[in-house]
Amino acid sequence: MTSLRIAQAQINPIVGDINGNFEKIRHRLDESISAGVDLVTFPELAVTGYPPEDLLLRKRFVIENVEALHDLAESCFGVSALVGFADIVENGVTNAAALISEGKIIAVYHKMELPNYGVFDEKRHFKPGSQCLVFDISGVRFAVTICEDIWIPGSITETCAVNNAADIILNISGSPFFAGKYQIRKNIATRFAGAVDCLLFFNNLIGGQDELVFDGGSFVIDSTGMLISSADRFREDLLITDIEISPKPKPQTGWNAICHSLNRSVSKGNGRNYIEPRIAQELGEVEEIFQALTLGVGDYVRKNGFKTVVIGLSGGIDSALTAAIAVEALGADRVVGVTMPSLYTSNETFSDAGALSANLGVELISVPIEDILNSFLKVLEGPFRSGSLGLEKENLQARIRGAILMALSNRFGWLVLTTGNKSETAVGYCTLYGDTAGGFAAIKDVPKTLVYELSELVNRKAGKPLIPDSILRRPPTAELRLNQKDEDSLPPYSVLDSILKAYVEEDAACDEILGHPPELVREVARMVDRNEYKRRQAPPGIKITPKAFGRDRRLPITNRHTQYTRRGS
């Protein structure tokens, strides 16, 4: 039996911050040496941050990341490490992993399977690799893979691991979050580990990067799918796992692989104190979504250099949840609420905005908009000509509020968080340059029914109603006209969200969406299709569903194909 201590450094890099990422990796290397680790892995593209996107088209950026990798190797003594970076090859760049040990780069692996679906666009930026990498430590054979390499049944990497009698699969990943993704990853890892008949060490990064959130959740799993150890989710972690393993008999010659043998970097044998396997607590779906939103907001603010966020508090559920997420992510002292009452704002919603801000401990600024609205209408009397006012007056109120928030942003350098949810965004129940005006959309991918579940979770976690019960009970309303309710214009949200899930996330045609009146389904689909232009101009927001607007779903604005009529009809 061979004893090995393997660490998985689950870090939160910043895209493009090569020096900062270098220091973060260097710190975890030092920790691993102090802990007597034999081998430590780092996530996919740890040096550049993930995903670097078109930064990879800048030659200087790629060169600097390679230079940083060489500097890491030269300072790496006492432990072996597998580090993700972008490598330079003939006619391009590869998504790579470097094995470094004792002051040098031992070998480099180039990712073979390049995902090009959903949020992934790797074939735009990377060349695929053509050769596998296996290496031995004290007779234990490791096969190196990067993220998608283990997601493809029967892949070259899988065949290579089998034919080279791998004992352990190392997988470094940048696998973004959506609700339920953690279990999907475990299922994928179980299949691969079973096919190769070995342990699999999955190392995922964490952090928010624009629309994406990476939730970590690194783990070690055996060939039967049993979880050996697992890291926390949504925070940086160093997962250390002690294993005892009987290496498989090795073939005389390798198969499509570069093979290297390393001496154990740290030789402590039986004198090394055994570390009990650590398994992180599982998270329920609503809890994991809340943590993803919190991490996504916090990292977007911090990584882009903002100190404070400002939110329009309407007294409604969406702005209440957005404010609660912001306070959880940043602290109450870095969140400012603004209430902007009009003639149509009820006393109840106005008082609820005050109660919410008091419960959360955030500053509340009041800027009434009635006089501003009247001034606009006075100026527009001539251009508007005769006739009663309708939608233009409603949207003008929303745009005045957006302008006020952006003015405060300009004055104080605050980031405006918009408060629209996925249900409203889907059907265009929002105002361009009004409630869509801002820098980041915290709940952009959260359906309205889930907004309520998350709000109830906020109150349960606090042990008291941070979000007042009156907000949770009140029928949703934009309050842009007298006695306005959302359901005057939309189906009940429980019905709407069901249709949207099928039409938007599952790409179902209207006649495939059952359980609702066909004309209602067609009308919802029409609303979704004709409001693509609004979504294209909306700020980025956090992805929490399998298919979010934006990076996941890219439809042309000018488009006459529909799902609600058939060709020839």
- pLDDT mean over 204-221: 97
DSSP states of 543-564: --SSS-BTTTB---SS----SS
Which residues lie below 8 Å from residue 426, measured CB to CB, with a gap of 6+? 500, 504, 527, 528, 531, 549
Q: Does the pLDDT at position 264 exceed 50?
A: yes
DSSP label at residue 294: H
Q: CA 265 from chain center: how many Å?
A: 35
CA dist 200 and 41 (Å) reads 12
pLDDT in tens, 36-46: 999 999 999 99
More confident residue, 471 or 257: 471
CATH numeric code, 286-485: 3.40.50.620
**Helices vs strands, H then E, count in the chain:** 17, 20
CA dist 286 and 524 (Å) reads 26
- pLDDT mean over 537-562: 88
Model confidence at 483, in pLDDT bands (50, 70, 90)? low
Q: Does the pLDDT at position 478 exceed 80?
A: no
- pLDDT mean over 462-485: 81
pLDDT in tens, 335-392: 999 999 887 777 777 788 999 999 999 999 999 999 999 999 999 888 988 888 888 8
Options 76, 132, 147, 510, the catalytic residue: 147
Q: Does the pLDDT at position 327 exceed 70?
A: yes
**Which amino acid belongs to residue 267?**
S
**276 neighbors 47 (Cβ within 8 angstroms):** no
CA dist 68 and 50 (Å) reads 16
Other CB atoms within 10 Å distance of the CB of residue 281: 8
Q: Does the pLDDT at position 268 exceed 50?
A: no
| Domain coordinates in residue numbering, the chain | 2-115+129-246+254-263+279-283, 286-485
10 Å CB burial of residue 382 (0-12, 13-18, 19+) is: exposed
- pLDDT mean over 67-85: 96
CA dist 126 and 56 (Å) reads 9
Model confidence at 249, in pLDDT bands (50, 70, 90)? confident
CA dist 443 and 318 (Å) reads 8
The structure tokens listed for 166 are: 């791998």
Q: What is the pTM of this model?
A: 0.93
Annotation says 44 is catalytic: yes
What is the fold, at CATH topology level, of the domain defined by 2-115+129-246+254-263+279-283? Nitrilase/N-carbamoyl-D-aminoacid amidohydrolase (3.60.110)
Q: For residue 192, give the nearest of 173, 177, 211, 209 by alpha carbon.
A: 173
Annotation says 512 is catalytic: no
- How high is the pLDDT of residue 265? 42
Phi-psi region of 555 (alpha: psi -120 to 50; beta: other; left: phi over 0): beta
The structure tokens listed for 343 are: 């003639």
Q: Does the pLDDT at position 75 exceed 70?
A: yes
**Which amino acid belongs to residue 140?**
V
CA dist 459 and 462 (Å) reads 5
In the chain, pLDDT over 70 holds for what percent of residues? 94
Q: How far is CA 361 from CA 315, 367, 463, in A?
A: 15, 19, 16
Model confidence at 475, in pLDDT bands (50, 70, 90)? confident
Q: For residue 544, give the nearest of 454, 468, 464 by alpha carbon.
A: 454
Options 111, 422, 534, 543, the catalytic residue: 111
CA dist 551 and 119 (Å) reads 5
CA angle 176/178/179 to nearest 5° reads 145
Model confidence at 267, in pLDDT bands (50, 70, 90)? very low
Q: CA 357 from chain center: how many Å?
A: 28
Q: Does the pLDDT at position 5 exceed 90?
A: yes
- How high is the pLDDT of residue 480? 63
Q: What mean pLDDT value characterizes the chain?
A: 91
- How high is the pLDDT of residue 490? 86
Options 44, 113, 211, 288, the catalytic residue: 44
DSSP states of 38-81: SEEE--TTTTT-S--GGGGG-HHHHHHHHHHHHHHHHT--SSEE
- The 3-state DSSP class for residue 308 equals coil
CA dist 133 and 108 (Å) reads 8
CA dist 133 and 135 (Å) reads 7
CA dist 423 and 426 (Å) reads 5
More confident residue, 553 or 206: 206
DSSP label at residue 210: T
The structure tokens listed for 381 are: 């009397």
Least confident of 15-19, 35-39, 248-252: 248-252
